[in-house]
Amino acid sequence: MDTSINSQTKLYTLVGYPVSHSISPVIQNSIFAAKQCNSKYITLAVRPESLKEAVTVLKENFRGFNVTIPHKQAIMDYLDVIEPKALLCGAVNTVKNDNGRLTGYNTDGYGFMKAFQKLNIEMAHKEVLLIGAGGAARAVLCELLQHHCSVTVINRTEAKAKSLQRELSGNFPGLLTVISDWHQLQARYDCLINTTSLGMEPNRSVSPIDSPYLSRFSIVYDLVYNPFETKLLAEAKRRGCMTVNGLPMLFYQAVAANQIWTDSVLPGKTEQELYEKTIR
Ligand code: ATR
């Protein structure tokens, strides 16, 4: 792939901490190349305390950016406009810069559901256990609730899960439960979703749930993709669960973000080819 830039090149970036593990540049630069855009996508490590100053730099130098751990909620304070879906779930993963006017979007939920579609899994009306209550959890949760799933949330900081429940219960009455202890798990769930960074490099020996509980789930979905098979997914596989890693979601949230920045759609055949290359 041509990695050179010139005076006309439009720059995009991923902002997070850490970001060095990310494969978003590979995906985004492949999409830009397929669309024949003179654009480049890089990563920028931004510590939480530096986000405000970083936004000034981003406004001046980048046409758009993605936002990841731990900035998906904090970035909202610096945006001029937030689209309704991102407002509803309270998290932004994609920002478009129109001459200094920043608009926030959330494409995580789209990526998450598209991943299920690709695997021919129908997610409507399912019983789900969701681990985590951060920015990624918010997008996933909203999508599940909109698909009439009953969702139980467990998070290290229970207060964060409770606050999420208070925010969303009005729109989705009766569908959201928060538990504080693993002993409160139901006997069966259709799906377990890990939205935390537990198990991600360099902490690959960690799993967010004790292995014996995994036999209660049919599908185990880990949003982590580095390593491709986390300890959670390896243990779930051993217990006979269907497993899905974070790559399909990562790919489709990227496709949607790129469409927002470029106002152009990838041809279906090209999208499929890039998807297969990504998840291989
Ligand atoms: P993201 O935007 O990617 O979701 P985030 O908003 O920082 O990132 O959220 C990270 C999630 O992982 C949170 O649910 C966090 O739990 P807390 O709310 O208690 O902080 C969870 N998480 C991160 N490290 C964890 C750890 N070591 N043990 C348990 N949960 C952890």
Question: From edge to edge, which strands make up the β-sheet containing 64-67?
Answer: 39-45, 10-16, 64-67, 94-98, 101-105, 81-82
Is 136 near ligand 1, meaning CB less than 6 Å away?
yes
CA 212 from centre of chain: 27
Q: If you measure from the C-alpha of residue 203 to the centroid of ligand 1, how many angstroms do you get, rounded to a whole number?
A: 14
pLDDT (average), residues 212-239: 97
Is 155 near ligand 1, meaning CB less than 6 Å away?
yes
Predicted complex ipTM: 0.95
162 is catalytic: no
Q: Are 200 and 190 in contact (CB under 8 A)?
A: no
Give me the chain's average pLDDT, please. 96
Q: If you measure from the C-alpha of residue 156 to the centroid of ligand 1, how many angstroms do you get, rounded to a whole number?
A: 8
Instruction: For the chain, state the CA radius of gyration.
Output: 19
Asked if the model's pLDDT at residue 1 lies above 80, the reply is no
Is 206 near ligand 1, meaning CB less than 6 Å away?
no
- Any idea what DSSP says for residue 71? -
Query: What are the structural domains of the chain?
Result: 10-106+248-279 (3.40.50.10860), 110-245 (3.40.50.720)
Asked if the model's pLDDT at residue 2 lies above 70, the reply is no
User: Which residues have CB under 8 Å from 197's CB, separation 6+?
Assistant: 69, 203, 224
User: Which whole-number Å values give the CA distances from 242 to 5, 124, 134, in the listed order?
Assistant: 43, 17, 25
Q: If you measure from the C-alpha of residue 91 to the centroid of ligand 1, how many angstroms do you get, rounded to a whole number?
A: 14
124-156 pLDDT, tens digit each: 999 999 999 998 999 999 999 999 999 999 999
56-100 pLDDT, tens digit each: 999 999 999 999 989 999 999 999 999 999 999 999 999 999 999
**Residue 280: per-residue pLDDT:** 83
Is 94 near ligand 1, meaning CB less than 6 Å away?
no
Residues linked to residue 94 through DSSP beta bridges, in sequence order: 66, 105
93-122 pLDDT, tens digit each: 999 999 999 999 999 999 999 999 999 999
